[in-house]
Structure 1
Amino acid sequence: MSSFIATFVVLLAFFFLMSIGYLIKHKAVAGSCGGLGSLGIDKACDCDDPCDKRRAKMEDEDSRKEKLTQNRII
């Protein structure tokens, strides 16, 4: 039981310190690596020749975009 209480206190201390940092800097917590965009990858599946399942999904997305542009009122 004492390890649970100690873990809870440490967790609360981290939340408290992060909230103090937010109040001082007015900046939200953000990742440092930049994600896939920093590596030059535009999408999660960056294959030259996508598999059949991915190709069907891409065709479906293209047809939906085409339908939206055709049926647009404005």
Structure 2
Amino acid sequence: MLTIFVASFVLFLLVIGGMSLGYVFRRKTLQGSCGGITALGMEKVCDCPDPCDARKKRLAKEARRREQLEKYRIL
């Protein structure tokens, strides 16, 4: 029983190590095999015409932050 556990653990370590080496040497981002949201024809996760209140608040906060950064860059 212990030998099966150790063999499985070593196998998993080899697979994870091989995936890590592939990631390090190819410098590609990790992605799913199906292409994700863009394969469905959606440009964003929330494909609604009008953003929800939480998103509106977040966008307004980001806009204020950008305005402040631009203000301090000009001075």
Q: Aligned partner of 1:70: which letter?
A: K
Greater helix fraction, Structure 1 or Structure 2: 2
**What whole-Å deviation, never above 9, does each CA across 1:43-62 have from its counterpart, x for those lacking one?**
43332112212111111111
Q: Output the TM-score relative to the length of structure 2.
A: 0.57
Answer with 6-15 or 29-38: which moved more: 29-38
| 1:71 aligned counterpart, secondary structure | helix
CA RMSD, 1 decimal: 2.9
- The gaps in structure 2 that reach 5 residues or longer are none
Q: Output the TM-score relative to the length of structure 1.
A: 0.58
Q: C-alpha distance in 1, partners of 2:37/2:55?
A: 19
In the TM superposition, 1:4-15 aligns within 5 A as 4-15=5-16
**How many pairs are equivalent?**
68
Answer with 54-63 or 6-15: which moved more: 6-15
